[in-house]
Amino acid sequence: MSAAGSPPPRTGAFSRRTLLVAAMVGTASTAVACTGGSGGDPADAVTPQQADQLAAQLTVQQALVDAYDQAFAADPGLATAAATLAEQARTQLDRLQAAAPGATGSPAPTTGGGPGPADARAWLRTQVVAAADAHAAAAATFSGGRAALLGSIAAGLRGQEGLLA
């Protein structure tokens, strides 16, 4: 304890901002490894079925980006508090698009008018969990860089889930 009776400051602890930056850097590095340079890695070959699965994951991620927009429209205070998370979801969408040769995600069907102001955070958290689950399940069907990318996105979304709690 310090002289004033308060515990000494913690060293080595991660702030939320540090966690988000690390998750974004990890996602970016994985995407570069997934889409860049060598191009000849057989583990990164995509079958037609996997191309369809990547297109489905694009749809999942686009739905999440849209969910952020809906939640922010319902609760402007949430928009201020979670703007970084929405930007991360958009960056993840860009990375998925780069990793999905020729695939385009379909616009997600709109389900009702979205959340109300009182439940926008909880509703958004549910959307984040669903997207993380979908990406994690899809990662198991890939190998190489695309598996790493989907796994990284799923992990990043698990971090968002915790921040939205």
> Is there a domain that residue 6 lies in?
no
Domain that holds residue 111: 16-35+44-164
User: What CATH number is attached to the domain comprising 156?
Assistant: 1.20.1260
Residue ranges, the chain, pLDDT below 70: 1-45, 103-113
CA pair distance 165, 162, nearest whole angstrom:
5
Model pLDDT for residues 89-130, shown as the tens digit of each residue: 999 999 999 988 776 555 555 455 678 888 999 999 999 999
Contact 148, 27 (CB under 8 A): no
Our count of domains for the chain comes to 1
pLDDT at 11: 47
Report residue 138 as tokens. Answer: 């899809």
pLDDT at 117: 80
Report residue 47 as tokens. Answer: 């079958």
> Is there a domain that residue 7 lies in?
no
> Is there a domain that residue 60 lies in?
yes
> Is there a domain that residue 9 lies in?
no
pLDDT at 115: 87
pTM assigned to the model: 0.70
pLDDT at 34: 47
